[in-house]
Structure 1
Amino acid sequence: MTQTAAVIRMPKRFDYSSGVEFNQAILAALEFGGNITLDCSEMDYIDSAGIGLLVMAQKKVQSSGAALTMNSLKTAPKEILGLANIQKIIDIE
């Protein structure tokens, strides 16, 4: 099993306004190599723009040979991500 290199704490609201900061965090984490875990314990809200950011991040992470995992999801965001079938491309713990 590959060691997790980075944990990124997700914001309360994950939407278009989170994009720049999130992408910078993903790129910084990829520089260290290894897998990335998204700590979703604070996240109350995600919309379609947030889902798009996750999909783009997954592509970047996968192309670098690492894995992206989400954990500690609250009920509402977990339901939205389930409707979008995100669990097919990102591991949800």
Structure 2
Amino acid sequence: MEYDIGANGSGTVCHLSADLTFNDHEAFRAMLDDAVAQASGEIVLDLSKLEFIDSAGMGMLLVAQERSQSEGWSLAIDKPQGQVQKMLELAKLGQVVTIRS
């Protein structure tokens, strides 16, 4: 997983690219910690350039959602594409996380 963090009008955006798999759990947690430290509102995970996600990557998104609820900030997922979008749909992740196309 590769990422960069920036700001938008309503909060913080994490742009993820490449793959999100089991091997990325430490980097994902570090990214989330950085985003929370910078956040001024909503944290958005922009998945438009993420090419692949496995079940562990899906679990990381759920962990981020649980953390947002326990810490009182909001989380949204933006622009999933291809295999990533299909996985999110199959897992019905949109029932627990805001997903915007």
Q: Per the alignment, in what secondary structure is the counterpart of residue 13 of structure 1?
A: strand
Q: For 1:7-52, what per-residue CA distance to the aligned partner results, in whole angstroms no more than 9, with x for missing partners?
A: 1111311111121111111112222342100011111111100001
Stretches of structure 1 lacking an aligned partner (at least 5 in a row): none
Return structure 1 stretches of 4+ with deviation > 3 angstroms. Answer: none
Q: For 1:31-78, what per-residue CA distance to the aligned partner results, in whole angstroms no more than 9, with x for missing partners?
A: 234210001111111110000111111111121111111112112211
Task: Report the equivalent of 1:67.
Answer: 74
Q: Which of 20, 44, 47 is 1:40 aligned to?
A: 47
Map 1:1-93 to 2 at 5 A.
Answer: 4-33=10-39, 34-93=41-100
Q: Distance in 2 between matches of 1:72 and 1:8?
A: 12
Identity %: 27
What is the TM-score with the length of structure 2 in the denominator?
0.81
The one-letter code matched in structure 1 to 2:47 is C
Measured on the aligned residues, the alpha-carbon RMSD in Å equals 1.4
The one-letter code matched in structure 2 to 1:32 is Q
Give aligned pairs, total: 91
Q: Distance in 1 between matches of 2:93 and 2:38?
A: 25
The one-letter code matched in structure 2 to 1:61 is S
Stretches of structure 2 lacking an aligned partner (at least 5 in a row): 1-8
